[in-house]
Structure 1
Amino acid sequence: MTDRWAVLRVVEQRVLWLATAMIDHANRVRPRTDGLKVGGHQASSASMTTIMTALWFDHLAAGDRVSVKPHASPVLHAINYLLGSLDEHYLTTLRSFGGLQSYPSRAKDPDPVDYSTGSVGIGATAPIWGALARRYIGSRGAATGTGRQYSLVGDAELDEGACWEAILDPMVAELGEVCWIVDLNRQSLDRVVPQAAATRLQAMFEAAGWQVLTAKYGRLLTAVFDRPGGDALRRRIDDMSNAEFQRLLRCTPQELRLRLPDSEALSNLVEGLDDSTLTAALRNLGGHDLQTLGDALAAIDDSRPTVILAYTVKGYGLATEGHPQNHSSMLTEAQLRELADRVGMSLDAPWARFTPDSAPGRLCAETAARLHRTPARVQSSPDVPTDLGRTPAGTSSTQASLGRALLDLTRQAPAVARRVVTAAPDVASSTNLGGWINKVGVWSTDARRNWFDDDPETILHWRERPTGQHIELGIAEGNLVGLLGELGATWSRWGEPLLPIGVVYDPFVERALEPWSFGIYAGGQSILVGTPAGVTLAAEGGAHQSIKTPSIGLEQPGCVSYEPAFAIDLEWTLLAALSRLGRPGGSSAYLRLSSRPVDQALATVPPDPAARERRRRQAVAGAYLLRRAAQPPALTIAAMGAMLPEALAAADRLDALGVPADVVCVTSPGLLFAAAQARTGQGSADTWILDAAFPADRAAPLLTVLDGHPHTLAFLAGVHRRPARHLGVTSFGQSGALDAVYRHHGIDTDSIIRAGLDLT
């Protein structure tokens, strides 16, 4: 077998078989006791088989990276198996514990996966941010090589707004290495998409500056178009609805001869075709024709992003092809045997590879050698200092302190600062990054003139250059955290660690949460700063007042959350978060900051170096005892973030009323919760912080207060099992002065005092 396309066709059929059999084994063969469906998406995998065969075995280079649509995961594993990068025993473990994951996972799958996917729209956009991340570290001299960034996207996936937010970002139009291949099978999970959308999609991509290529018809169907009456057939197929086309795929040749013609010319053409040619031609779309796909891939213009609209049939090559309810359907054993016979395989030996001396076997070996990558050697980051040595004075907010801490880092730990890259969705100046940006500049692939450099009233100097360390995106929080995830993965992709920090308005953290969480799942380590937070942003009203984010920070896996009350706490926790980035076993962090000015003297930072270090360790671990009552306390007030001034004022007044109160400053409810769980044998966190912040000999009724949902700190009542009350925000806010808004939500000083008196 020497014909290139014939060899590729044999490989394509083997990939189809392996993906289908893998899913069949997981659902029909592997024993199950729980009665739950396993699934695996045979039809969605079949839709992508030709595209992925053409890409891997005929076009990919070692430097290319591919994001595979979630429901084509079995196809990826089948290809990796044929290339020798997946052991045979894994083929029987799809969706089993410790086996092949339901969707491609960089962190959990045993075979090569470039991008984790599974959350629709997020995996599709990841290669865009991967391209930016590679360009960024490449501009710093890192040896990243070259290569395209492919996204294999289902057409229904383009309904997700995340896709279009990314496509329309101004930075994306320059990324010529980005290529999306759209599996245009015109079906979603439940139905056939009612209206043809290809022309609309083409116009939308073109409007965004993308090159649009189309693989609509295969060679067989194109040859039929060249016959007399072929123009009528092309027009008939082009004009028919998606649903009608799908219905024709389910028809017998006799039914096709009745349903398809709408003119004498077309009737004559159809009558002149034998049954096998007629049925094969109708489903010979470009996305299932290796040569048509090869022509499209060869036509990619690397000067701008490209999208290839590849027309396909969902379930192509299976007995379920084209059926509107085939998304979750499974082949019967009889149907699977028929497929095995057709592709030269057997249910008795379902996992056979090609023999090494066969033409397909040689192609697999050649492809494996071509795509081999030498694992990246991870460079170690410079050690992050634990303390910059400054004791903030005067009045300041934690939001303002972020910018100062970054500037201090450039002076006192320049090697660390050079690894820092900040990003924002057009909110850099309003979140106090202006000084940092003036110092380090804005990153761009080429130096650009700043036309306002000589304007004496310009405070923020927007100097764009390849050496800049701030990346500014458009107003889309999903894009920001998508970029953070990829900047935070450069250590594992190319061995070059970065320390990425993204700044977003805290009310919109929830909008960014899903893609950020998915980035953490995929191994991206970053710091997300939400600021300003809570109803403390009083004048902005309920639409801009975040109340659930403290709980979100506590609950997010792979993330340490902090809500510092004072500038020194912000500095310490930021440095601790930076020290966890860009390394195996590292983690992300979420910092919830406030724009409320606070008297820094309230922090009472110990002047003694040993006592200062003790305070720092406790602040980084989750909490510290800020105010000790002069006598055994009748009450413990545990407060967080912007609420510390009210908590301290309430403690003073309660003491005057004969109710001595300790005040604990909570910096991380998540770390405290982990410690509380470990104390009962759940988890392995250190528990010393509970003894340090809540000493048993000072146990008293507990009052918690924060600018967020009160359940965030409610678990602290279990530390000593004392009576407790929990103050916080449980309703949408409204505009007003700070005292009025606090009073409305019951977190003002008077409310704290009343709750404390009720407890004692």
Structure 2
Amino acid sequence: MTVSTNLGPWVNRRGVFDRHLKNDVFRDAKLASAQRWGMSPEGQHIELGIAEQNLFLMLSALGLAHDLYGARLLPIGTVYDPFVNRGLDALIYACYQDARFMLVSTPSGLTLAPEGGQHQSINTPLLGMAQDRLASFEPAYADELAILMRWGFEHMQKPDGSAVWLRLSTRGLEQPQRTLDPAAVVAGGHWMVPRAGCPHRHRLSGAGGAGGARRLRGAAGGGAGGGAAGDHLAGPAACRVAGGAAQGAVGLRRPLLGRGIAGAAGAGAAIVSVIDGHPAAHAWLGAVRGQRVVPLGVDRFGQSGDIPDLYREYGLDVDAILDACAQALLG
């Protein structure tokens, strides 16, 4: 699990925890390994293997250290995204107890294409939106991730803070050179392609996560049917926008509604959303200002295949996005 979640460099730098000194069994057996598995009380990596309930129980205990022992810890747990469901009961009660931790789930979504439905997550974005005391994000780019991790470590320590969940992907993306507004990223959305001053009834395309960002960048560049004129917004935090929408009725976080996803293109604009998860994670956006929404996502367990074929099968490829934009405009 350490290898599949790309934690090899962390293990080599920080060491594996054990209450006693233990030799690296791979080196003792003269077996090649990219990781150094020597264990000691100074190690900061705890290897649990495939045991999600144990992971969340441990995150809960470590995340309550400030109450139990008077010392704040910042625990980080990594897990395959679909298997969050295996430990969901323990995760819910960890949040209920106000434990503070950072959960990183990867790979996520349909993009883990060759392994079939058992490793392709669908409902996890909805869990992140619904769970109290858990701030959920789905960044696509490294600069977004850096902002959210910095914010998350601070948020975990605040009296009114919470646990943090980062839903990531192992799918590579070209990293843009840009300067982001951290407040906009944390609030729930920032412009991938700046607003172009389109007419009143134009479309606003929003992407969540690496899968959505990759498809949306392809559509913006033309894809098979030419350029997709309109505004393109990255939404790394659907639950944050949802929280802003819910609170907006009583006057809180109105700047988010004024410049964020729902209000970005005016009340008459249509929204096309793309996420490598259940489309309901974005479908609510139209309820904020009565806008038409065409949500794209995955609403059934995935077939096994290569990524282009599966994106085409489940309506997440460039052509599907362009068709959705046309549908949104035609009303």
**Fold agreement, TM-score > 0.5:** yes
- Between the two proteins, the alignment pairs up a number of residues equal to 323
Give the whole-Å Cα distance in 2 for the aligned partners of 1:452 and 1:694.
Answer: 51
Give the whole-Å Cα distance in 1 for the aligned partners of 2:319 and 2:291.
Answer: 22
1:646 and 2:212 aligned: no
* 1:133-212 matches, cutoff 5 A: none
Residues 459 and 712 of structure 1: is their aligned pair in 2 closer, same or farther, counting only changes over 3 Å?
same
What is the TM-score normalised by the length of structure 2?
0.92
Match of 2:127 in 1: 552
* 1:55-66 matches, cutoff 5 A: none
**Aligned with 1:503: secondary structure?**
strand
Match of 1:630 in 2: 196
For the Cα contact (< 8 Å) 1:530–1:592, is it kept in 2? yes
Residues 428 and 657 of structure 1: is their aligned pair in 2 closer, same or farther, counting only changes over 3 Å?
closer
Residues 498 and 720 of structure 1: is their aligned pair in 2 closer, same or farther, counting only changes over 3 Å?
same
Residues 491 and 697 of structure 1: is their aligned pair in 2 closer, same or farther, counting only changes over 3 Å?
closer
1:510 and 2:78 aligned: no
Q: Which has the bigger relative contact order, CA under 8 A and spacing at least 6?
A: 2
Give the whole-Å Cα distance in 1 for the aligned partners of 2:217 and 2:289.
Answer: 22
Residues 658 and 467 of structure 1: is their aligned pair in 2 closer, same or farther, counting only changes over 3 Å?
closer
* Residue deviations 1:116-154 (CA, integer Å, cap 9, x gap): xxxxxxxxxxxxxxxxxxxxxxxxxxxxxxxxxxxxxxx
Whichever residue aligns with residue 449 of structure 1, its letter is: N
* 1:194-593 matches, cutoff 5 A: 427-453=1-27, 455=30, 457-593=32-168
Cα distance, 1:653 vs structure 2: 2.3
Give the whole-Å Cα distance in 1 for the aligned partners of 2:264 and 2:67.
Answer: 47
Give the whole-Å Cα distance in 2 for the aligned partners of 1:560 and 1:685.
Answer: 17
1:704 and 2:280 aligned: no
1:749 and 2:318 aligned: yes
Whichever residue aligns with residue 630 of structure 1, its letter is: A
Give the whole-Å Cα distance in 2 for the aligned partners of 1:438 and 1:478.
Answer: 26
Cα distance, 1:629 vs structure 2: 4.6
For the Cα contact (< 8 Å) 1:703–1:755, is it kept in 2? yes
For the Cα contact (< 8 Å) 2:189–2:237, is it kept in 1? yes
Give the whole-Å Cα distance in 1 for the aligned partners of 2:145 and 2:264.
Answer: 29
Give the whole-Å Cα distance in 1 for the aligned partners of 2:148 and 2:228.
Answer: 32
Match of 2:169 in 1: 594
Identity of aligned residues (%): 35
Stretches of structure 2 lacking an aligned partner (at least 5 in a row): none
Match of 2:259 in 1: 692
Instruction: Tell me the C-alpha RMSD between the 2 structures.
Output: 2.1
Residues 696 and 643 of structure 1: is their aligned pair in 2 closer, same or farther, counting only changes over 3 Å?
closer
Whichever residue aligns with residue 605 of structure 1, its letter is: R
Compare CA radii of gyration and give the structure with the larger one.
1
For the Cα contact (< 8 Å) 2:303–2:310, is it kept in 1? yes
Give the whole-Å Cα distance in 1 for the aligned partners of 2:303 and 2:264.
Answer: 42
Give the whole-Å Cα distance in 2 for the aligned partners of 1:582 and 1:466.
Answer: 25
**Aligned with 1:600: secondary structure?**
coil
Match of 1:179 in 2: none
Give the whole-Å Cα distance in 2 for the aligned partners of 1:674 and 1:587.
Answer: 14
Stretches of structure 1 lacking an aligned partner (at least 5 in a row): 1-426, 607-611
For the Cα contact (< 8 Å) 1:491–1:583, is it kept in 2? no
1:730 and 2:304 aligned: no
Give the whole-Å Cα distance in 1 for the aligned partners of 2:247 and 2:239.
Answer: 12
Bigger proportion of residues as helix: 1
Whichever residue aligns with residue 116 of structure 2, its letter is: G
For the Cα contact (< 8 Å) 1:635–1:659, is it kept in 2? no
**Aligned with 1:598: secondary structure?**
coil
Residues 710 and 440 of structure 1: is their aligned pair in 2 closer, same or farther, counting only changes over 3 Å?
same
* Residue deviations 1:176-204 (CA, integer Å, cap 9, x gap): xxxxxxxxxxxxxxxxxxxxxxxxxxxxx
Give the whole-Å Cα distance in 1 for the aligned partners of 2:205 and 2:193.
Answer: 10
Give the whole-Å Cα distance in 1 for the aligned partners of 2:262 and 2:119.
Answer: 38
Residues 674 and 545 of structure 1: is their aligned pair in 2 closer, same or farther, counting only changes over 3 Å?
same
Cα distance, 1:696 vs structure 2: 4.7
**Aligned with 1:471: secondary structure?**
coil
* Residue deviations 1:610-642 (CA, integer Å, cap 9, x gap): xx4x2x221122111211253416210011112
Cα distance, 1:647 vs structure 2: 0.8
What is the TM-score normalised by the length of structure 1?
0.41
For the Cα contact (< 8 Å) 1:542–1:733, is it kept in 2? yes
Give the whole-Å Cα distance in 2 for the aligned partners of 1:529 and 1:452.
Answer: 27
Give the whole-Å Cα distance in 2 for the aligned partners of 1:581 and 1:726.
Answer: 32
Give the whole-Å Cα distance in 2 for the aligned partners of 1:697 and 1:448.
Answer: 57
